[in-house]
Chain A
Amino acid sequence: ELKVEQNPLFLSMQEGKNYTIYCNYSTTSDRLYWYRQDPGKSLESLFVLLSNGAVKQEGRLMASLDTKARLSTLHITAAVHDLSATYFCAVARGYNTDKLIFGTGTRLQVFP
C-alpha cells in the first residue's frame, strides 16, 4: 500500500528565511505533485515532477524529486508572508490514472 509522509506538519518561519518541506513515499511512483491550499480554498497546483532528478522552480519555491530515495523536497527561499498556506505533496502510481495519495500536509506560517 502506497503511503505518503510529510514533515514537518507545522512550520513557523520568519520572513527572509529559507526552509525545506520533505515528502517521503513508500513505494515506486510515476508522478509526484505539490499543491498549495489557502484556508477554506481549493488546491492550487504548484509542480508536477515526473522523473528522477527533476527540479522545478517558480518564484521562491523549488521542488525536486529523488525516486531512488523516494523523496521529494519543496524548498522555500527568502520566505514572505504571502507564502503562508498549507502545502501538500501527492503521489500517483501507474499511467492513465488520477488516483493520488496525499501526504498529511505542512501548514506554513510566515511572520515578519
Chain B
Amino acid sequence: KAGVTQTPRYLIKTRGQQVTLSCSPISGHRSVSWYQQTPGQGLQFLFEYFSETQRNKGNFPGRFSGRQFSNSRSEMNVSTLELGDSALYLCASSHGTGNTGELFFGEGSRLTVL
C-alpha cells in the first residue's frame, strides 16, 4: 500500500516568487492536511481539506492557500515568498471521519527561499 507522496521533495526559490507543492494521499483517504515545520516555530497546522472543502485553517497569512481535487490529491501554494517561508512542508492524510483516525505523513517538501 503506497504511502503519502509529496512532490517536489526539495526546491529552492527566491523572494517574491511563488511555489506550488503537491500531495497524493493514501488510497481511500479523503482528508489531507498540511503542516509547516521550522526550527523556530516547530510544527504548525496550515489547513486541512476533506472532500474538496477546506475544513480548518491555521493562523497563516493569505499568501498560503490550498485546494483539494476530486481524487483527494491536494496542492498548497505560497505566493510572494519570504525568507521566513523556508521550511519543511508536511502533508498528512487520513480517512477524515470519526474519531479514530491515524494520521500518516509524507516525506515532506523542503523549501529554501533565498
Contact = CB atoms under 8 A, between A and B. Distances in A.
B93 to A, nearest CB: 8
A98 B99 contact: no
A45 B104 contact: yes
Given A48-B102, A96-B97, A102 B107 contact: no
Interface residues of B, number: 28
Given A30-B99, A88-B43, A97 B48 contact: yes
Contact of A45 (B35, B44, B102, B106): B102
Contact of B101 (A88, A98, A99, A104): A98
B108 A42 contact: yes
A101 B42 CA distance: 10
A45 B103 contact: yes
Given A42-B90, A96-B50, 17 more contacts: A31-B99, A31-B101, A41-B107, A43-B92, A45-B103, A45-B105, A50-B99, A50-B100, A95-B98, A96-B98, A98-B33, A98-B48, A98-B92, A100-B35, A100-B43, A100-B103, A105-B43
The 6 closest A-B pairs by CB, nearest first: A102-B43, A43-B105, A98-B33, A99-B56, A95-B99, A42-B107
